[in-house]
Structure 1
Amino acid sequence: MKASANNRPQKLRRSSSGFTLIELMVTIAVLAIIVGIAAPNISTQLANQRVKSTASTLENALKEAKAESIIRRQNVTVAYSSVLNTIAITGRNNTVIATYNINSQSTVSQVITPATVTQVVFQPNKMVSGAGTEVVYTICDDGSTNETPKQVTVNKIANISVTNTGSC
């Protein structure tokens, strides 16, 4: 014989349905603890993703400029504007070829040798003019102190590389 809820006495039917207040409070407390543990890891992951995205954008802009200089057979300039958070690629007579927007929380600092040069000029002979040895862009994130910084480096022979080094 099967027992069903309808065959139970009225008193038992009311007390056995639903959750108690204590059960709900314990569940909410456990969820709060899990969120408290996971939140710092999520913010670090987001910061690392922003840095990775900005480094990828910068690398793509530099590679595009290198290819355009060869295709167009002219010098192509890459200039980073920290005020506008943009990378501009320009050709002959300052004709804009492309612009790239950088995440507003990303910080890009550039070190170009010699220090008087503020942009990278790719030549059609697959060399970089204006820069001495190399150009190093260090990418960090303003929103976090635990992110892994990245460096995008362009050397004299226009090789572009991305590494997980540097300090913010």
Structure 2
Amino acid sequence: MRVSKNSLSPTIQMRSSGFTLIELMVTIAVLAIIVSIAAPNISTQLANQRVKATANTLANALKEAKVESILRRQNVTVVYTSTSTPQTIKLQVGGDDISTYNLNARSTVTQTITPSTVSSIVFQPNKKIANNATVIYTICDSGSTNETPKQVSLTSIANINTTNAGSC
């Protein structure tokens, strides 16, 4: 025999409606534990995403410089400015800016040019880098120590590669 809720006495109806304070506290405690476990993973993922975005921006700037030097049949100079906020990559032809890229403010970019006597990267129309220079940019995130650093490397024949490498 089925009993409907309407046929129960008012005291029984009052006991079975809603949640008790203990049930709510247990639920909140379980949620707090789950959030405390997930939070570090989320911050690491965000740091990795910032590093990846900065590496992609840097690689795109270098690719544009390579293409512009071929199309314009002129040398295109890549100027990396680490002292400004945000950090910038500028592409220049004859001292005039043709393009500017802003890098993520929380990213740290380290530029290593070989040979050390070369101060700037110049893409030539013959698809080579002036002075046979090679460059490695190492990208890290300043807000995290657990991220995976990325490197954008540029060979003397203007090949651009992005890899998970380097140390922060």
Q: Could you state the TM-score of these two structures normalised by the residue count of structure 2?
A: 0.95
Using the TM superposition, give the Cα deviation of residue 119 of structure 1 relative to its aligned residue in structure 2, in angstroms. 2.0
In the aligned structure 2, how far is the partner of 1:118 from the partner of 1:19? 69
1:112–1:131: 8 Å Cα contact kept in structure 2? no
Q: Which segment drifts farther, 15-24 or 3-12? A: 3-12
- Residue in 1 aligned with 2:142? 142
Partner in structure 2 of residue 156 of structure 1 = 156
Residue by residue over 1:54-80, the C-alpha shift from the partner in whole angstroms, topping out at 9 and shown as x without a partner, is 000000000000000000000001111
Q: Which residue of 2 aligns with 1:87?
A: 89
Instruction: Report percent identity of matched pairs.
Output: 66
In 1, Cα distance between equivalents of 2:74 and 2:112: 25
Q: Conserved in 2, the CA contact under 8 Å of 1:79 and 1:118?
A: no
The one-letter code sitting in structure 2 at the alignment partner of 1:114 is: P
Matches within 5 A, 1:99-138: 99-130=100-131, 132=133, 134-138=134-138
Secondary structure class of the residue paired with 1:47: helix
Structure 1: gaps (5+ residues)? none
| TM superposition score normalised by structure 1 | 0.95
Deviations 1:12-51 (A, max 9, x none): 0111100000000000000011001111111111000000
Shift of 1:131: 5.0
Count of residues in correspondence between the two structures: 166
Runs of 4+ in structure 1 over 4 Å off: none
Matching of residues 20-59 of structure 1 within 5 Å: 20-59=20-59
Query: Which SS does the other structure have where 1:62 is aligned?
Result: helix
CA distance in 2, matches of 1:106, 1:67: 26
The alignment's C-alpha RMSD in Å is 1.1
